[in-house]
A = this chain, B = another copy of it.
Amino acid sequence: MLVNRRTLRIEWGQCDPAGIVFYPQYLIIFDSSTGWLFERTGLTPLAMRRKYGIVGMPIVEVSARFVKPCRFDDEVVVESEIGEWGRSSFTVRHRLFRNGELALEGFEKRVWAAPHPERAGEIRAQAIPEEIVASLSDPTGATTIAPDKTTSSAI
């Protein structure tokens, strides 16, 4: 799989009176890290919505295990990659390191979701385009997708 790495610095406002990161802040980092991973396809979030007609990738499950606390001003590295591909859902695996040591790890399970064809305002899971799978499965990151606005034949 393609691993996306981000280097972040823990901010004052992410920490609690114990001086460590308030844990829901890590889930905010998970969410944006999934966004950056998918951008490695070559498509911005908006381009992805236009190209495939999706409304987004809503979460259906999240889990995290906290190993070591992080503190204000710590430099941390977040590594994100697809854990598993389903037909219309997938997991993103996130690991966060501080000084090279694992501080926490977890996963998000999300759905590739398009507007429901019959029920207005509702969504429906849809098959993940093959080219998305191919792009994020390529560890070199070289398999990117052109951000055109036509409907992809992969759907």
Chain A residues with CB under 8 Å of chain B are 11-13, 15-20, 22-25, 27-28, 30-32, 35, 44-46, 55-56, 58-66, 69, 71-73
A120 to chain B minimum Cβ distance, whole angstroms, is 14
Give Cα distance in the complex from A128 to B120, angstroms.
32
Which residues of B have CB within 8 Å of A30?
24
- Label chain A's interface by main secondary structure: mixed
- What 6 A-B pairs have minimum CB-CB distances, sorted nearest first? A24-B27, A63-B63, A17-B19, A24-B28, A24-B24, A15-B17
A107 to chain B minimum Cβ distance, whole angstroms, is 10
Q: Is the CB of B17 within 8 A of A72?
A: yes
Provide a sorted-by-A list of 26 A–B residue pairs whose CB atoms are within 8 angstroms: A11-B28, A11-B31, A12-B17, A12-B31, A13-B31, A15-B17, A16-B17, A17-B72, A18-B56, A22-B31, A23-B31, A24-B24, A24-B25, A24-B27, A24-B30, A27-B27, A45-B73, A46-B73, A58-B66, A60-B65, A61-B64, A61-B65, A61-B66, A62-B62, A62-B63, A62-B64
